[in-house]
Structure 1
């Protein structure tokens, strides 16, 4: 953990890491505090709602980071290659972690219940922000906005499902296959400039 980070940022980084590896319920408060090198009082000072409020902040941080990586890749002249690179980064991260680090949003979503309003709200906003970012890339392919939004939903759903399956199997083949099929589909969409209907 970076020593120059504020205690609040260290707590958020520790939670984001824990969500990616273990999920919300798989990590204990003491483990988080140890990883963040912070006493319990600091946690409740920054996050009076405790672990749940910290998880919401971590979800926002993860989504912001993913949006940033998509935005950086969107600078490429070829939007389809930018999307391929984004999906490839996720697969590499999963492989490099020994299939330990999946998507923290999916992990928390799978653990959440109907009573977890704060978490589900943060997740819903996070997924909406990511769909918007992916939709923007697809619009650069010349795909009409309503169709791009529908396809962004498909891309994120396939991405999350492939990451989950690859993590469980300990094999990135699912990610590779899913990425290839998504890119084929999007190239077809680009070539046909499908009408505005989803």
Structure 2
């Protein structure tokens, strides 16, 4: 039961960070959203919201990073990019919560004393870019172009998530995919 409560708090924190932002989300709100007594959160996360954020970063990367690596390893760049965009729609725009990425929310909301959170977020974004860059390289795209396109994919997705929220639909992600498509090697 304790593990389930902890997992629920991490999941709810990710959704709250994604929807409200890291800075605007309080520790009590996380506990309430998870259906837990507010005192329980400090039992599971003695260092408070920073520790929750560390767990959200790790959980998001474990899921999203694993998908990106899997798609980039098993597919050509064009189909990998399409899978990444489709996965983004499913994971980061689904449900009743507004579109967003918890990694971006933590990065933006982290204060001056949260350097470790920003470093963790940077490592996550690097991992996601590296997977796509390596896919491009394996399929003949030289550097620095492969690195630039991989950065463009991740930055485009993160920016598109903001536009998805503003526009109220997933069309910005589709536009990012359409813009990237001509830059990618196409299978013969």
Structures share a fold, TM > 0.5? yes
Check the 8 A contact 1:106/1:160 in 2, yes or no: yes
Deviates most, 51-60 or 107-116 = 107-116
Q: CA deviation at 1:127?
A: 1.2
- Tell me which of 75, 81, 86 is aligned to 1:88: 86
Give the aligned partner of residue 6 of structure 2: 8
**Which has the higher mean CA deviation after the structures are superposed, 117-126 or 70-79?**
70-79
Taking structure 1 as the reference length, the TM-score comes to 0.80
TM-superposed CA distance for 1:74, in Å, is 3.3
1:37-89 CA-partner distances (Å, limit 9, x unpaired): 33344322332210111112101211121111113323544332022121123
Question: Is this contact kept in 2: 1:12–1:54, CA < 8 A?
Answer: yes
What 5-or-longer segments of structure 2 have no aligned partner? none
CA–CA distance in structure 2, aligned partners of residues 91 and 121 of structure 1: 26
Change (3 A) 1:97 1:71: same
Give, in angstroms, the shift of residue 97 of structure 1: 3.7
1:176 & 1:99 partners in 2: Cα distance?
Answer: 20
Is 1:55 matched up with 2:53? yes
Query: Which residue of 2 is the match for residue 79 of structure 1?
Result: 77
Question: Superposition pairs for residues 162-177 of structure 1, below 5 Å?
Answer: 162-177=160-175
For these two proteins, the number of residue pairs brought into alignment is 188
